[in-house]
Structure 1
Amino acid sequence: MDTPARPGGTLPLPSGTTCSRLGIGCWPIGGPAHNLGMPMGWSTADDHQALAGLERAFALGANLFDTADVYGHGHSEQLLGTFLRGIPRHEFAVTSKVGYFTEPGTGHAMEPAHLRRRLEGTLGRLGVDHLDVYSLHNADFGPGDALLEKAVATLRGFQQEGLIRSVGMRGPHRFAPERLTTEPGQREDKHARFRRHFAEIRPDVLAVRDNLLTPASATDGIREFSAAHSVTVIVNKALGQGLLTGKHTAAAPPAFADGDHRQRKAWFTEPALAVLGPYLDEIRHHLGDGPAPLAHAALAYCLRRWPGAAVLAGFTTASQVEQNLTCDPARLTTDDLLFLAEVGQQAQQALDQLGEVFTDEANG
């Protein structure tokens, strides 16, 4: 059987696997969960839909799957592993992350012994003998970065053992508890911290948060920086966790169940949705009505803005997968891209007027 075209085109990973540029984000299918005293999952997940969505994604040519041990405390990895069993290992790329979940009584998440236990659990749940990318999920390496050197040495050791093919880290961002427990004026500049950690980690892959609502300052220079250091980029949150698809409105703001991280996100409340709605209407008017043009515009924007990078699209249903993977970035003209960038920045600035908490979500 012929291999279907790869959505968004193809991208060679440092592992040697060629993957689809439009990949599958598997955080949502982990389901509801709590971690670090906060809701950290998705209450809208369904295991049957998750497996159906993964099957549809692979049938449509997507072969890059991104997950983490903290997504549903392993449930996302387990579901993905159920799907991947039986598929030849060379036909897909799978990435996972470590650092946000600590087993009770085991100390800091970045301690070497903990990193090994978490990797062994991840490989077992996924049913694979190696990961294409294993990433440090946050920038918390203990007071004074005391665990940073040991954590890096441990991951490079995994690489030498053949358990992982490449090491990843996140671009400039806020560690989740830091946004809740640290006053804005007392936070270390995240770009300075990122560059300090980058010099020590020397990653092969960089995860970057970007979408139409991301302030330009959040990613200033990162494309050039990654290119200068020959680092492969994986872009996440391209759909703004569903905000940019238009499915949430001020007239019917979402009510998320227990364990859903969006319960603590101001952008999903009626005031923010009322501000965002008119800007999404502008995009609809420009590109066409219905949910697909909005999702396609958001994904195509990131695919075109980050040439040579992969872009992740999360999902909870097979129909969302179908919608996302039929995106054709080539259909957007240069004028379309300029229009989207302008409207997106106007929307972000309007949300910014609602207060610091809204800005921090885009920057986080």
Structure 2
Amino acid sequence: MTHQPKPHPAAMIRLWDGREIPRLGLGCWAIGGPFFAGDTPLGYGTVDDAESTAAIHCALELGIRFFDTADVYGAGHSEAVLGQAIAGRDDVVVATKLGNRFDPATKQMTGSIDDGDLARETRSAVDASRRRLRRDRLDLVQLHLNEQAIERAGEVFDTLDELRAAGTIGAYGWSTDFPDRAAAHAGRDGFVAVQHGMNLFFDAARMLPVIVANGLLSINRSPLAMGLLTGKFVAGQALPENDVRANTFEWMDYFKDGRVVPDFADRLARIRHLLTADGRTLAQGAIAWLWAKSPRTLPIPGFRSAAQVRENAGALEKGPLPEEVMAEIERLIDRRPEGAARSR
């Protein structure tokens, strides 16, 4: 039996539906396996579904109750693996995302719903996610088009309002790094969460005030900077060609051409000792930093193994970093200016 940590009081959070859960979720991008846009890899390489399932079951034993996925991850495969692993569990909060078109047979992303009938494709995507996840009702559905126009996003949310009224979904949100987009729809009754990039290197200084002012949930993607904050990558180490981090996307800050960006490695070296104080691992310290930034943050680190899950869950017992440690990190990290809003 896996030891279930007793979460620090500040490592718990109350959701929009009144449920209180540990303030740590798991992001299911990596367990989706390979998928592509043409020849460009969008996944984290090959996966072992049995290992992914064992990791999910380990998370459940450790008390984790929030799982975030997307229909496009692995062209539907992430949802299918998660759905099988949590079948029959009504104590689990499932968050998924929609907005991209894909072909499950070829593992190709083929476009977005933005150029189609938004109402019809939104309904179709929700139904398909429900089938793969084996859920009659989805707890949280998020728009996965980071830069979609505010007006067009409103059409998607109108449809999600109808599905919410019918009991098909519980609530909805937007996976976006643009504060103006989040603010534009934050007043809707069903709009409860924003998923956005946030970690030690990027503190989302403009997004967090929008979230706090509107009482939203801050779901933190890339809380470990796509793995850099685990400490397992060394300077010059090359990642496999079928790993998304081998790309040169504009939004990908921490890796370029499959290697760690030296500037970020240097920043991490300056604060490593602060993150690992009190017996924390580097990843646990990075998660604790997010908790200390706001009581509304919910990090969703990715995972591929039970060992990674156990390490991340170990952060729950210690809770947020102390104020003095946070202050010293800010003094040393030399964080880049946020600049104009962009996808991250």
TM score, norm. by length of structure 1: 0.79
Higher normalized helix content (fraction of residues) = 1
- 1:63 has 2:70 as partner: no
Q: Is the 8 A contact 1:78 1:125 kept in 2?
A: yes
Q: Is the 8 A contact 1:94 1:133 kept in 2?
A: yes
Residue 318 of structure 1: CA displacement? 1.2
> For residues 333 and 260 of structure 1, what CA distance do their matches in structure 2 show?
34
CA deviation digits over 1:160-199, x for unaligned, max 9?
Answer: 111111111134x2xxxxxxxxxxxxxxxx4444444556
Q: Aligned residue for 2:106? A: none
CA 1:198–1:36 in structure 2 vs 1: closer, same or farther (change >3 Å)? farther
Q: Aligned residue for 1:213? A: 201
- 1:235 has 2:240 as partner: no
CA 1:125–1:363 in structure 2 vs 1: closer, same or farther (change >3 Å)? closer
CA 1:239–1:360 in structure 2 vs 1: closer, same or farther (change >3 Å)? farther
Q: Aligned residue for 1:186? A: none
**Which amino acid in the other structure matches residue 329 of structure 2?**
L
Q: Is the 8 A contact 1:233 1:310 kept in 2?
A: yes
Q: Aligned residue for 1:257? A: 241
TM score, norm. by length of structure 2: 0.83
Name the SS for the 2:299 alignment partner: strand
- 1:310 has 2:298 as partner: yes
Q: Is the 8 A contact 1:232 1:309 kept in 2?
A: yes
Q: Structure 2 matches for 1:48-197, cutoff 5 A?
A: 48-87=50-89, 89=90, 91-101=91-101, 108=115, 111-141=118-148, 147-171=152-176, 173=177, 190-196=178-184
Residue 292 of structure 1: CA displacement? 5.8
Q: Which moved more, 1:311-320 or 1:266-275?
A: 266-275
Q: Aligned residue for 1:335? A: 324
CA 1:84–1:235 in structure 2 vs 1: closer, same or farther (change >3 Å)? same
1:39 alignment partner, one of 31, 37, 41: 41
Name the SS for the 1:313 alignment partner: coil
> For residues 286 and 220 of structure 1, what CA distance do their matches in structure 2 show?
21
Q: How many residues align?
A: 329
Q: Aligned residue for 1:322? A: 310
CA 1:3–1:310 in structure 2 vs 1: closer, same or farther (change >3 Å)? same
> For residues 21 and 309 of structure 1, what CA distance do their matches in structure 2 show?
7
**Which amino acid in the other structure matches residue 301 of structure 1?**
W
Residue 343 of structure 1: CA displacement? 3.5
Higher normalized strand content (fraction of residues) = 2
CA 1:110–1:222 in structure 2 vs 1: closer, same or farther (change >3 Å)? farther
Aligned CA RMSD, in angstroms, stands at 3.3
Residue 317 of structure 1: CA displacement? 1.4
CA deviation digits over 1:277-318, x for unaligned, max 9?
Answer: 3333333334549x9621011100001112133221111111
> For residues 150 and 282 of structure 2, what CA distance do their matches in structure 1 show?
41
Structure 2, unaligned stretches of length 5 or more? 104-109
Identity over aligned pairs, percent: 26
> For residues 98 and 68 of structure 2, what CA distance do their matches in structure 1 show?
12
> For residues 161 and 63 of structure 1, what CA distance do their matches in structure 2 show?
24
Q: Aligned residue for 1:246? A: 231
Q: Is the 8 A contact 1:102 1:109 kept in 2?
A: no
Q: Is the 8 A contact 1:5 1:60 kept in 2?
A: no
Name the SS for the 1:314 alignment partner: coil
